[in-house]
Chain A
Amino acid sequence: METMIAFCNILRKDIETYYLKPPNISWGIIFPLSWTLMQFIRSQGTTGIRELLPGLMAMSVLFGSTSMLAVTITFERSSHSFDRLLLAPISINTLVLAKILGAVIFGTLNAFVPVVFAAFFINLKGINWGITAIAVISIAITSALLGLLIAISAKEVFEAQTFSNFFRFPMLFLCGLFIPIDKLPAMLKAISFCLPLTYGTDILNGMIAGNSIFSTPLNISIMLVFVVFLFYLCQKNIKEKWIL
């Protein structure tokens, strides 16, 4: 019960203090919208919205989950308020879960902004929204954990932003969001299969556009492995780098 109170309040504090601020809400709407328009204009209408939608959703959740967590934790660490969380009688696991849950919720909601826009132009019937939600949430979790890994390494907010962009932008092109993986050179394809976003996007491609590489159960299993691995890595790095 005591742990639950602490957990819920860390989550609530993050949502109120960071995620519900007007710049973040507007960013969460404007960013996916502008990418949708850009992709649509670039393809001169030859690419259907349904084909663009999985990539846009994956991108929205990736940016929504990684950027906020990396920046807010680095900010809290530089202002020492994060020490207060480390000094609380709650386990590192509880702390990590509470911190990433805010980012996961924010990223997941971001992912559905392009869906809302798309619903005005195309018929979205027939999509398995349950599996789609699982894909979005699993991308959000892995992205949030990647954001946390960045936060562990970064000392300043600008460092966190630089590190985030360093891996986020290549992922846009490597994980099958806008360029199909089978069109990538062999070396880049190999890198692509090492990234969790590839599998999450593949589920979305399968559910929305009907063209996935792997089966949904395999993609979900691989995502789960990534979640466990990244969680372990975060936990280990926090103990090593934050408690010196």
Chain B
Amino acid sequence: MEIVKVTNLKKLYGEFPAVNEISFSIEQGEVFGFLGPNGAGKTSTIKMMIGLSRPTSGQIMIDGIDAIKDIKKVQKFIGIVPDENNLYAEMNGFDNLCFCASLYGIGKAKREKRAMELLEQFNLTKAAKYPFKTYSKGMKRKLTIAAGIIHNPKILFLDEPTTGIDVESARQIRELILNLKKQGKTIFITTHYIEEAERICDRIAFIVEGEIVKIGKVTEVLRDAEREHKIKLQLSSSIKNIKEELENNFINCKVKLLDENSCLFISKEPIALFPILQLLDNTGISVYEAKELKPSLEEVFVKITNINPKTKNEQEKVGK
């Protein structure tokens, strides 16, 4: 069942189209990833969906409610974790959560109980009485996520949840997101970490320069990008001397030497492994491991957009 439906959504800043007539839908209980480089239109899209920005045109329906006309109704059952931590620096963790719960009309006893539960779930009980400003980046992020789900929302919007935090905190946050998914929450997540989307999303959309260039299930998007089949072999010795022979025998395959004891078979057709193993065995080379290599989302992203995220990030860092 579709719980979010965005149709021809557009946002112009002056003449500049930050988001250009995008359409997509999200199923109930799904984790939907919105991927793209910085400035692609991810945050502009999420801001329109949660009511922090007015679309130039288009329609946003959330759980059957027009989110542009009736955003206050929608805000009752959505949780929002913005890209920047927006809790109160002077207030402690517990008070911050209680205050956020009060904004949803939750009574004192209930909100205090819920705050304690979340602090425990997010491993922040010990820090509950410390001011938010004294928290580490990872702790701040976790508390901001806790604040986003304090009212037990149906749909959670997460804008760059793991950006700028340490590896361990990022891992914990990913686990938390997966737990929320298990609880049946619908999650809309924007990220520019492709590996993150690969791990936690059911479906993804790539947005570049305000337009969705690819959308689908993670597996489908990967399959579409699999224009080549790759098998990596770990061998007992080098095949340098028989590389030509292998390519002559398997005319659809290209053989690439990786190092002394490993090589890669690349083909546009599915690769039959047994004849290769047999030939290698006949030449006295044992195969210790054969592994089919799937393209990563990063490779797919590069293929689709012609943008290398790593290079782009590095360029941005230099620019800063």
A interface with B by C-beta (< 8 Å): 1-3, 5-6, 8-10, 13, 17, 79-81, 83-91, 243-244
Contact = CB atoms under 8 A, between A and B. Distances in A.
A89 B105 CA distance: 9
Contacts of A81: 86-89
Contacts, number: 69
A2 B85 CA distance: 25
Interface string B124-162: 000000000000000000000001000000000000000
A5 B102 contact: yes
A88 B76 CA distance: 7
A241 to B, nearest CB: 11
Given A6-B105, A84-B100, A87-B75, A243 B87 contact: no
Interface string B79-110: 01010111111110000000110111111000
B217 interface: no
Given A13-B88, A17-B90, A88 B103 contact: yes
B80 A9 contact: no
Interface stretch (B49-57, B230-238, B308-316): B49-57
Contact of A79 (B52, B72, B86): B86
A80 B54 contact: no
B30 to A, nearest CB: 22
B73 interface: yes
Interface residues of B, number: 28
A89 B76 contact: yes
A79 B89 contact: yes
B76 to A, nearest CB: 4
Contact of A244 (B53, B82, B87): B53
A5 B75 contact: no
B73 to A, nearest CB: 7
A191 to B, nearest CB: 36
A9 B99 contact: yes
A5 B105 contact: yes
A168 to B, nearest CB: 26
A184 to B, nearest CB: 44
Contacts of B53: 243-244
A6 B103 contact: yes
